[in-house]
Chain A
Amino acid sequence: MNMARSRAFCLLALFEVALLVLSACGSAGAPPTAANQPSATGAASQAAATSAAVQATQGMTEASTSAAVQVTQGATEAATSTAVQATQGMTKVTTSAAAAGCNIKPPAQPQEVTFLGWPGWDVDTYAKWLDDCNSVNNIKVNVRTMDNSSAVEQMKLAFSSGSASPYAIVHQSNSSIQQNAYKGWLRPLNDLIDTYRSQYNLNDIAQTHWDAATFDGKILGIPMQSNTILLMYRSDLFEKHNLKAPTNYDEISTACKALKSEPGITVPFALDLSAGWAWATAFFEAIRSEGGDFFAQGGNAPAFNSPQGVAALTKLKQVVDACMGTQGLAMGYEQFQAALRNGSVAFIHTWADGGAAMVDPSKSQFPNVIKFAPAAAVEPGGKLAGSAWDDYWSIPASYKGDPDLVFQMIMQVASPERQKEAAKLGLVTRTSVASSSSLPYATAAVETISKGVGAYPKSPALNVMETALGNYLPLVGTGELSPKDALQKAEADYIKEAKTQGFLK
């Protein structure tokens, strides 16, 4: 080998080694997805699931580059289906249980029941039980999970296509159920609930849960789990600095100043402000805590550009400056939940269902010192800035299979016995079970729900409002807009779009 070749060989070898190291390190550190809308699940998503879903989304977007939505939807769905199955695979949970876990009468004709949802303690657990129905003759169960926003997109594509829904059961949050409810994409369940009310003791699920799933008198989902915002904190650090669990945003800012100097702490406090939707959710909780609201009473007129709105946003900005900085703004809830578990964040405002991992020694470095408190209020004495969220399971209106059978399958998962088991992992909706929960954060969660800001508002224009807010509120965090300017711009955008879409005259 001559000199030139040796040099080329060495340079290439260096290039390849660098490439490999970077690939390997990147792979090892591959994080979960960042793109999630809030849901009662509040769950860690999976990169692989997102991968398939984003490909599907990208496929849709690319298709729309050269094709019309209607024409391409069929192809997109097929491509999506293939991509999801190929890349992600159907998350078919193997079952160890026998048919005893699914006490329903076998249908006369073969029925394929496909569930679409997003991962979390609830779906991870419930899917196994749903899968038990595979042991019933003529029933085939498929479970597909992907991150929340991708699942919501899949629903949009499937339901708007005009053809039969490939999904028999779809996971819903307070936010997504609205998008689907006002479009008429979900089947009213009133008849089935009335038929099976006593058999499955459905009165055991509190009316507040049913109310949140009821639109124009139609119940569109079975409440499967509830969730809210909690304050999770390192009690050892708080004791060391002589601090108490903050009860309002001013106390959060004060605690941050004390904890900033703590070794190993990179961001003292975090709440999810990592995306437009996250800002909209945090702002909803803050403005309600201040006594304001998104919508004017009984309509779609905006009410957020108000003194309460400005005050809420100002307080959020104060917390960002005192506690989070640019680095904290980039952290989604999955990241800062992990950061609390590994010791680089001292306290967080986050979804209650992240609590189980905090005290799990296999997942947390501080299982004995992470404690739970109710969500903080924005102002001293105000409502707690934590909303009440539910996750529902719904049946699409365009599903052509047997809804009675599907309803009974959902009930196998939502039975009191199953819910008792589920209550060891998260907050469930059956009163008899929830009241006896032994979860370490149950007390704090119940207090947040009872003294908090309530459920997300119901409006067909909610999506438009969230988008308008999501476009401008993040710019308050970076200091590019003042709270007042951001709200004015968001209001102008909302009014323009709501008028275009017929929500406002």
Chain B
Amino acid sequence: MKRKTFIGFVAPSVILMVALLIIPLVVAIALGFQSFTYLTLNARKFVGLENYQSILLDSRFWQAVRFTFLIIVIVTPLEMIIGSIVALLLDQIPKGRRGIFVSLCLTTYVSVPIVAAYMFRGLFQSDGLGTWIIEQVTGQHLIMNEFAVKMLILAYGVWRDTPFVIIIVFAGLQSLSLEYLDAAAIDGANRLQQIRHVTIPHLAPLLMLIAMIVIMAKYQLFDAIFVLTGMNPIYHADTIMAYNWRTAMELEQLGKANAMSILTVGGLMIVLIPFLVRTWRSQTRER
């Protein structure tokens, strides 16, 4: 390809990325070293690493970090397992009937996140179906205390995003040649063994990618917190994003909020490094 043609193809995306990602990121880094509120937007004060120091000494920030990681650690595996099982079931039924199941699977996922959060909260209002089921099963009245609200947030994560896993895994299953499964069956493998030794290795790179996307989504969780907790501090259920919102919008500490954003982007990269390394290795091995 000629150099000019190459530049012509690449330039638009490079310009867009620089304008929408790189420049704002650099400015955010710069603002993270300043102290200002909405009142002093034009009188910003350079404070060096003070914002970062303040964040690292802020117990509420660490509480938010802990809860965010709790969501990641619990919800991600649940979504992966439930989503994969449903995708495997979906793969078993005749092609002509899959469409309706696939579309139904997507009902929660295609909803606007905040609307989905309200729908989910509706289930656990005093007259909601979820409340009724819990009361029937446990014989206890559902009280919205810290434990209950945190459980609801975890459940919301699974309820909302599992369809994403289903769809992607199901798409991955379509690329698995039946010949491999037939060969395994001829060798005496039962259905579970076929999944363990043929299907899962085939899907491994895809599952890794899904896990990364799910982790990133959980890292950015805000809407469910906003709706399910009403930002009430008694639930101690701020995620990193919710606390970032609180810092920017309630406390109006915009410099600190920017510094927190930079720290969280860095934190996310650290979380994703093992996944990125494994994905890179598996890709290079395949080549």
Contacts and interface: CB of A to CB of B under 8 A. Distances in A.
- Is B truly associated with A? yes
Interface stretch (A14-22, A304-312, A397-405): A14-22
Nearest to A497: B251
B37 interface: yes
Nearest to A493: B251
Given A54-B227, A68-B30, A71-B27, 6 more contacts: A1-B94, A19-B104, A19-B105, A25-B129, A35-B226, A58-B245
Contact of B249 (A5, A153, A470): A153
Interface of B: 20-21, 23-25, 27-28, 30-31, 35, 37-41, 86, 88-90, 92-94, 97, 101, 104-105, 107-108, 112-115, 118-123, 125-130, 141, 143-146, 159, 191, 220, 222-223, 226-227, 230-234, 241, 244-245, 248-254, 257-258, 261, 264-265
A67 B92 contact: no
A478 interface: yes
Given A64-B28, A68-B30, A68-B31, A9 B97 contact: yes
Contact of A67 (B24, B88, B105): B24
A326 B143 contact: yes
| Chain A binding surface, main DSSP class | helix
6 contacts: A5-B94, A8-B93, A29-B128, A50-B114, A70-B41, A478-B146
Contacts of B107: 19-20, 23
Contacts of B127: 29
A23 B233 contact: no
B23 A71 contact: yes
Contacts of B241: 58, 61-62, 65
B92 A475 contact: no
Contacts of B233: 276, 470-472, 474-475
A63 B24 contact: yes
Interface in A449-505: 460, 463-464, 467, 470-472, 474-475, 477-478, 480, 497, 500-502
Given A61-B244, A68-B30, A68-B258, A22 B130 contact: yes
Contacts of A478: 146, 234
Given A12-B89, A20-B104, A478-B234, A69 B144 contact: no
A137 interface: no
Given A8-B93, A71-B23, A64 B248 contact: yes
Given A25-B123, A274-B230, A16 B105 contact: yes
Interface stretch (A193-201, A282-290, A327-335): A327-335
A497 B194 CA distance: 61
A1 B258 CA distance: 58
Contacts of A314: none
A151 to B, nearest CB: 13
Contacts of B250: 467, 470
A155 B222 CA distance: 21
A325 B208 CA distance: 45
A16 B99 CA distance: 12
Given A5-B94, A64-B244, A500 B35 contact: yes
Nearest to A478: B234
Contact of A28 (B112, B122, B159, B244): B122
Interface residues of A, number: 81
Interface in A17-50: 19-23, 25-31, 33-35, 47-48, 50
A325 B25 CA distance: 46
Given A5-B94, A51-B114, A153-B249, A61 B222 contact: yes
A91 interface: no
Given A8-B89, A275-B232, A72 B118 contact: no
Contact of B24 (A34, A72, A87, A326): A72
A67 B25 contact: yes
A467 B251 CA distance: 7
A12 B122 contact: no
Contacts, number: 215
A23 B130 CA distance: 11
A162 B130 CA distance: 47
Contacts of B265: 65-66
A64 B261 contact: yes
Contact of B114 (A55, A467, A500): A55
A478 to B, nearest CB: 5
A87 B64 CA distance: 30
Contacts of A470: 233, 250
A61 B245 contact: yes
A475 B234 contact: yes
Contact of A156 (B108, B144, B222, B249): B249
A327 B140 CA distance: 13
Contacts of B245: 57-58, 61
Contact of B261 (A15, A23, A25, A65): A65
Contacts of A192: none
A31 B234 contact: no
A463 B250 CA distance: 8
Given A4-B191, A5-B92, A276-B231, A16 B244 contact: no
Contacts of A55: 112-114, 223
A401 B92 CA distance: 64
Given A25-B128, A463-B252, A5 B93 contact: yes
B117 to A, nearest CB: 9
A467 B82 CA distance: 41
B92 A4 contact: yes
B230 A275 contact: yes
Contact of A26 (B30, B112, B119): B119
Contact of B108 (A4, A19, A29, A474): A19
Given A19-B104, A497-B251, A62 B232 contact: no
A206 interface: no
Contacts of A50: 114, 118
Contacts of A182: 39
B145 A326 contact: yes
Contacts of B191: 4
Given A9-B97, A156-B38, A87 B159 contact: no
Contact of B244 (A65, A72, A266): A65
Q: Chain B CB within 10 Å — which of A58, A162, A330 has the most?
A: A330
Given A22-B123, A274-B232, A69 B90 contact: no
A54 B28 contact: no
A1 B191 CA distance: 17
Contacts of A21: 129
A472 B232 CA distance: 10
A20 B146 CA distance: 28
A160 B38 contact: yes
Nearest to A21: B129
Given A156-B38, A475-B234, A68 B92 contact: no
Contacts of B122: 25-31
